[in-house]
Chains A and B, each alone.
Chain A
Amino acid sequence: MKKEGEVRISSGCAISGIFCRDGRRITGEAIKKSIAVMHNRSNGLGGGFAAYGIYPQYKDYFALHIFYESQAAREETERFLDKRFDIINLSKIPVRQTPRISDAPLIWRYFITPLPHLLQDSQLDEDEYTSRATIRINDSITGAYVVSCGKDMGVFKAVGYPEDVADFYRIEEYEGYSWTAHGRYPTNTPGWWAGSHPFSLLDLTVVHNGEISSYDANRRAVEMYGYSCNLLTDTEVITYILDYLTRKQGLSLKECSEVIAAPFWTTISIKDEEEKKRLSYLRKMFSSFLITGPFSILVGFRGGMMALNDRLKLRSLVAAEKGNTVYFSSEEAAIRVIEENPDRIWAPRGGEAVIVTLDKEAGR
């Protein structure tokens, strides 16, 4: 059977997110509870979590979570990393054996920083240097897959139901200010764990529900700019588009939302002159990155989270607030189970991004 990446697999999903604006760090218990409520939206073929603020003692280093299918792949990757980075710390990611999660790859974690003289020679900033290295590992080292590579964050994912994945990775032992979760309903067996979500590049993580109809137009466009879509999933291409638009084009996340879920021309035409010009510009300039078809996404980034629906709002998305905490989920129940009485609960409109960031005094 072909592994995901050799074939394109559609999937339906559940997503959930918790964000503490005051920078308060909470354990993975809550997010596990939330995503577990939507058990029926996934089929046991993929689940995962992204967490921010979990490695405060290493917050200045890139944290790499890597899957290996063999020791040989690990050795090759470590040689690759050793040549380019200072490896500050490396270890297996601690897991808890559970009968519901099987066929685990080798799962390793590294804290690294680019070798200063190589970084200087490359004329790149450290983000670009590191992202190129991870894209290269995914692209060229057989049996190795970088799951996440940002700072003070990490992605934990597997083939299984999300609540079992949580147990497997012992996520209750981590504390973060921002959590997203994903339960997957792929139409096929993915064959390996890489295709599970969240998908991540540097500090950016994406969980996504829906199947986009613009996939190949978007993929072929973003691959022009040095990305390589190895997994053929929507989430992967959305992550790369967001990375390209924010990091390489310098767009804000709100502007990104106006590119990927651009308003219809008829909607743009009734805006005031200034806004009309701005929105038309974004649509024309980045037309290859318009995403059509159903999607709801939660985008985690350093110090914030964005929730966004497609412009027709073909997928469900609920948001809620309680004090300093913001919740997003595919279903209201998944929020109520962890926060019975939110101050406010609402469904964001299609194409309108909800962006939350840490309060200034949170100091992260």
Chain B
Amino acid sequence: MRRYRIRKDESCISCLRCVSECSFGAIEKGTDRSLVFHHDKCTDCQRCVSFCPTGAIYIMEDENRFRQNSVFREDDIREILLQAETGGVLLSSMGASGKSVPIYFDKLLLNASQVTNPSIDPLREPMETAVFLGQRPEGIQRDQNGNIVDNLPPHLELKTPIMFSAMSYGAISLNVHKALAAAAEELGTYWNTGEGGLHESLYPYKENTIVQVASGRFGVHGTYLNTAAAIEIKIGQGAKPGIGGHLTGKKIIGDVSKTRMVPEGLDAISPAPHHDIYSIEDLAQLVMSIKEATHYTKPVIVKAAAVHNIAPIASGIARSGADIISIDGYRGGTGAAPKRIRDNVGIPIELAIAAVDQRLREERIRDRVSIIASGGIRNSSDAVKAIALGADAVSIGTAALCALGCHICASCHTGRCAWGLATQDPVLTGRLDPEKGAARLVNLVNAWTREIKEIMGGMGINSIEALKGNRLALRGVDLNAKELEVLGIGYAGE
């Protein structure tokens, strides 16, 4: 069904670069080096536009509109037509597109020091962004000489409060994993394998790797668990809370098959729940069994989607023996999810973090665990706001993919990603040079970190821990009293 129109102007030199770049078959070579446009196949991924040497190509929203109706909008009609034709569940990718769900980050304003205390110039004064994630015991212990004994369980040390979200090999290419791993190592942060296992070539990045244990348990073996700095149990993800995963057999080829340890061509299905976790005490059992299997040398993260009762859930996770809670909000991305689920289930990360942080404090266990926030973190100020609301660190997925070329055309589920990210087609995956990709990721995170330091400096804060949960750093605009209450902040001017 046609959404976009491909146009070219007279500056086209018929070099056919666009034909070779288009992986969706939207642009084909006609007779005599002419171009044939199949508008209906275009996903607006912008690959052809980016690579056209003369800037001759334009992708436009199709001017032809359906008759306007205030109830049935264009997308509604389009989707009905598609489902009537196919009988299929609508499948989409990337983050939620619920347009009337507010992006609360945009309604939060940050503070700065004026007069009563000094702002700090981060280029001149020390400014600390190192974060330690992990469990803290309830009290200190001393030996017989009165010296403090180190009774801290293992922690993750991040040089910056930004990490890379879980994206599985299979959903994305090995080159993306390589870029993420190398960037994490250089940045002193962590990348996350997702549930598709860890390719052997990435074992050297062990110290910066978080491996995931999801309901499918793909590629989970002793070496996998121990080739990591931490282990994440994935209960859910923001894009599809309560929904399992399904990587089609088409993507289970070559090394993906080997890494997931799933035979080639066979679907890889992750059940909706972990069938060994039907209750919170079962989670405690899985957390502890992983700790047993890794000899208590690594922190265990539990990742859950931000759902309505995320606050008590997080409290339960905190009491399960988990060291770190990762919460993925409504706008979190995915390689494939039923569209209705993606757009209608879960709550925004801002509200989830505020509610969880507050609840853990009321329960007096906030200091016991660390919190990672993800799901729609677009820039450094989003990160700062998430931390001021109560997160210890944030995690970025979509933003990291953008750094590698993604233009968020939300066609990951087709497996034809023209930027070579969400695909296993060797021709396409070759489009990402992992080294160059890593350099771009490092640039992005370094730039954000510098911005975070600027913002902290403006507030007179020289260490990131003094920002965590510091809600006086935030004021809201365009929010109602209930929203302010849940966020735990004042209105601007208050």
Contacts and interface: CB of A to CB of B under 8 A. Distances in A.
A307 to B, nearest CB: 20
A284 interface: yes
B471 A216 contact: yes
A278 B150 CA distance: 8
B82 interface: no
A266 B159 CA distance: 12
B434 to A, nearest CB: 31
Contacts of B126: 264, 266, 312
A293 B460 contact: yes
A267 to B, nearest CB: 9
Q: Which of A11, A12, A218, A224 has the most CB of B within 10 A?
A: A224
Interface stretch (A38-46, A133-141, A207-215, A331-339): A207-215
Measured as residues with beta carbon below 8 angstroms from the partner, the interface class of chain B is 35 or more
B128 interface: yes
B470 A214 contact: yes
A105 interface: no
Contact of A221 (B147, B462, B469): B469
Contacts of B117: 10, 210-213, 293-294, 314
Interface in A185-221: 187, 210-218, 220-221
B461 interface: yes
A290 B463 contact: yes
B140 interface: yes
Nearest to A255: B148
A249 interface: yes
A291 B116 contact: no
B490 to A, nearest CB: 10
Given A217-B469, A221-B469, A291-B466, A250 B155 contact: no
A213 B461 contact: yes
Contact of A265 (B130, B152, B361, B470): B130
Given A223-B361, A312-B125, A217 B139 contact: no
Given A213-B113, A217-B470, A314-B118, A285 B152 contact: yes
B148 A214 contact: no
A220 B469 contact: yes
Interface in B364-418: 364, 366-367
A272 to B, nearest CB: 14
Interface string B425-468: 00000000000000000000000000000000001111101111
Nearest to B465: A287
B461 A288 contact: no
A284 B155 CA distance: 9
B20 to A, nearest CB: 50
B300 interface: no
A266 to B, nearest CB: 7
Contacts, number: 111
A142 interface: no
A10 B116 contact: yes
A109 to B, nearest CB: 34
A292 interface: yes
B484 to A, nearest CB: 15
Contacts of B466: 213-214, 217-218, 290-293
A290 to B, nearest CB: 5
A358 to B, nearest CB: 21
B266 to A, nearest CB: 45
Contact of A220 (B128, B361, B463): B361
Given A211-B117, A285-B152, A293-B117, A250 B140 contact: yes
A264 B128 contact: yes
Contacts of A250: 139-140, 142
Contacts of A255: 148
Contacts of A214: 461, 463, 465-467, 470
A134 to B, nearest CB: 20
B217 interface: no
A302 interface: no
A284 B132 contact: yes
A284 B299 CA distance: 15
B38 interface: no
B210 interface: no
A290 B155 CA distance: 18
Contacts of A288: 366-367, 465, 468-469
28 contacts: A211-B117, A213-B113, A213-B460, A213-B466, A216-B470, A217-B469, A220-B471, A221-B367, A221-B469, A223-B361, A224-B364, A224-B366, A249-B139, A249-B140, A262-B463, A264-B463, A277-B150, A278-B147, A278-B148, A285-B152, A287-B465, A287-B468, A288-B468, A292-B460, A293-B113, A293-B466, A294-B117, A312-B126
Which 8 A/B pairs are nearest by Cβ-Cβ distance?
A214-B466, A213-B460, A216-B472, A10-B116, A217-B470, A292-B466, A211-B117, A287-B465
